[in-house]
Amino acid sequence: MAVWHPRIIESARVKYIGVVEALESDIKTRVVKPGDRLPPQRQIANDLGIDLTTVTRAMNEAAKRGLVDAQAGSGTFIAQTAFTNYNSIHITEGKPLDLSMNNPPIPSHLNLEQDIAATLNELSASSSKPLHHLSYQETAGHPDDREAGGVWLAQKLEKVSADLILIASGAHSAIYSILSYLQRTGAKSILAPELCYPGLRSIADHLQLDVFSVAMDESGIIPDDLERVIKKHQPDAFYFTPNIDNPTTATLMLERRLQLAELAREHDLKLIEDDPYYPFLDKPLPALYSLAPELTWHIATVSKCLSPALRVAYVVAPQLDDALSLAEEMRISSIMAPPLMSAVVARWIRTGHITHIVDAIKAENIKRQELANAILDTQKLLTNPVAPHLWLQLPKGARALDFSERASRIGVSVVPSTAFVSTRSRVQAVRVSLGGASDYPALRHGLTLLADLCDAKQTRSKSII
């Protein structure tokens, strides 16, 4: 068993990262191998002439990257899995490729951090009331920001009064507040597609709402099954994503939207329409809010078409009384949406900059989908050319949870279908989010690994030591 000889990469941005990068380099070049011992931290500090705290930070970072294992009473060793990542995929700063988080991709020519900073400067310079967005706001949002939200929503919802619009701290917060309001007014159960946003189930469980699932096909929810479940369980509300569903990417066709509106009216079923991807659509379809406004809560977050850092979601209530009641629920859970973020988004809406950003992200989605279609078996894919994610159906006999675990072991994180099940589903698939890769080579390599993993002949069982 060898012992690592400490060194430091002088070009690193900080000393502790220099230590980690030196260790990482020695692992890649096989100078050290799994099971080799590292010297005690105090010895490393003395050998390199740095503080002990710097070495401790380096070892913590190395552990996060999966490079070392610390064993109480025995010391620190090169991790047994340290070679795995470097044999399978190019890794940025030693981290596996994360294709699990559904972040929108950021095109190389965009710099949203600079855009946000510049917009804040513009707001400060142009405001007659400098503290306007540095103070507590109305829970529903500042009237100017809600009016801007109405402008943004006008592309799909006609003639919506700003009085019906509220600004929430993201879609998750909006869903929580809506369900909390419905539960307080007597709701006992809700419907959801058999595969849907995982946060919905968590919220429903917290609020003690029963959840019943509606069957889906490649075009989304099946109206006949929706009618069956409504008659059987008499639910109070139905949550769904009409466009580029998460996770399946299905978009409801017009005929099904009309059927859904008719069923909602027939059974007095409240609709919760979560619609984050509408701005990406080439051929927009009418929102359910336009078809059944008296029954529909419409949610439009900017997290999926701009950035999750902007915790802004516009909520349109069915009636004015509903809007006022929802504001009370929101005040309890979050007080208000972040005023500075709301102001930035409102400014982008008024100047048209939001369209520039959305179009750039949409174009990036298209490029990444083309790359995925060139690598993965298209017969197994459910996707949309403008979506930030895809739904990879697994070969017969494969289990989604096993597949995601094997993918993780070779350095690629994806989400198994089990994470999206509302009550029950036999679907075995994984969601692959294309925005997580920082560049095309990393995405290409990660998708190639997933394609290989789909081939049963190349699937390896977990090693047992």
Rama region for 186: left / alpha / beta (φ>0; ψ in -120 to 50; rest):
left
Residue 461's pLDDT band (boundaries 50, 70, 90)? very low
Place of tokens 């809506």: 178
Cα separation, 404 vs 416, in Å, equals 6
Is residue 320 in some structural domain? yes
Average pLDDT, the chain: 90
- Domain final residue pick, 354, 373, 401: 354
Is residue 447 in some structural domain? yes
Per-residue pLDDT at 53: 92
Cα separation, 438 vs 96, in Å, equals 12
Overall domain count for the chain = 3
CA distances from 20 to 6, 10, 34, 55 (A): 10, 11, 16, 9
Instruction: Calculate mean pLDDT across residues 38-58.
Output: 93
- The CATH number given to whatever domain includes residue 36 is 1.10.10.10
Per-residue pLDDT at 131: 57
Q: Are residues 412 and 309 in the same domain?
A: no
Beta strand 389-393 with 210-214 is unpaired
- Which of 37-41, 45-49, 125-129, 271-275 bottoms out in mean pLDDT, i.e. has the lowest? 125-129
Kind plus residue range of the DSSP H or E element containing 201: helix 198-206
Instruction: Calculate mean pLDDT across residues 225-231.
Output: 98
Is residue 345 in some structural domain? yes
Query: Quick check: 304 and 274 in contact, CB under 8 A?
Result: no
Cα separation, 292 vs 322, in Å, equals 15
Q: Which amino acid is at 279?
A: P
Per-residue pLDDT at 81: 65
Per-residue pLDDT tens for 362-379?
999 999 999 999 999 888
Cα separation, 143 vs 2, in Å, equals 67
Is residue 442 in some structural domain? yes
Q: Are residues 179 and 214 in the same domain?
A: yes
Residue 262's pLDDT band (boundaries 50, 70, 90)? very high
Is residue 465 in some structural domain? no
What DSSP string describes 259-300? Answer: HHHHHHHHHT-EEEEE-SSGGG-SS----HHHHSTTTEEEEE
Residue 130's pLDDT band (boundaries 50, 70, 90)? low
Nearest to 386 by CA among 257, 299, 277: 277
Is residue 107 in some structural domain? no
Per-residue pLDDT at 314: 98
Per-residue pLDDT at 115: 94
Q: Are residues 20 and 80 in the same domain?
A: yes
Per-residue pLDDT tens for 317-344?
999 999 999 999 999 998 999 999 999 9
Per-residue pLDDT at 336: 93
Q: Are residues 368 and 288 in the same domain?
A: no
Q: Are residues 320 and 344 in the same domain?
A: yes
Q: Which residue has the higher pLDDT, 58 or 124?
A: 58
Per-residue pLDDT tens for 389-434?
999 999 888 899 889 888 887 889 999 999 999 888 889 999 999 9
pTM of structure = 0.79
Per-residue pLDDT tens for 157-213?
988 999 999 999 999 999 999 999 999 999 999 999 999 999 999 999 999 999 999
Residue 459's pLDDT band (boundaries 50, 70, 90)? very low
Q: Are residues 187 and 266 in the same domain?
A: yes
* Residue 93 reports pLDDT greater than 80: no
Bridge partner residues of 69 (DSSP):
77
Give the best-scoring range by mean pLDDT among 80-89, 116-125, 382-391.
Answer: 382-391
Count of CB atoms situated within 10 Å of the CB of 166: 26
What residues contact residue 180 under an 8 Å CB cut-off, 6+ apart? 207, 329, 332, 333
Q: Are residues 180 and 322 in the same domain?
A: yes
Place of tokens 């294992």: 69
pLDDT above 70 as % of the chain: 93
* Residue 94 reports pLDDT greater than 80: no
- The CATH number given to whatever domain includes residue 205 is 3.40.640.10
Q: Are residues 221 and 276 in the same domain?
A: yes
Per-residue pLDDT at 56: 93
Count of CB atoms situated within 10 Å of the CB of 253: 12
- Which of 70-79, 100-109, 386-395 bottoms out in mean pLDDT, i.e. has the lowest? 70-79
> Which domain does 240 fall in, by range?
112-354
Query: Quick check: 137 and 146 in contact, CB under 8 A?
Result: no
Per-residue pLDDT at 133: 78
Is residue 99 in some structural domain? no
Full strand arrangement of the beta sheet holding 270-274: 165-168, 313-316, 296-301, 270-274, 237-240, 189-193, 210-214
Q: Are residues 324 and 447 in the same domain?
A: no
Per-residue pLDDT at 36: 86
- Domain final residue pick, 330, 354, 378: 354
Q: Are residues 335 and 362 in the same domain?
A: no
Q: Which residue has the higher pLDDT, 62 or 180?
A: 180
Per-residue pLDDT at 63: 85
- Domain final residue pick, 34, 54, 88: 88
Per-residue pLDDT tens for 287-306?
999 999 999 999 999 999 99
Is residue 94 in some structural domain? no
Q: Are residues 374 and 343 in the same domain?
A: no
Q: Are residues 19 and 64 in the same domain?
A: yes
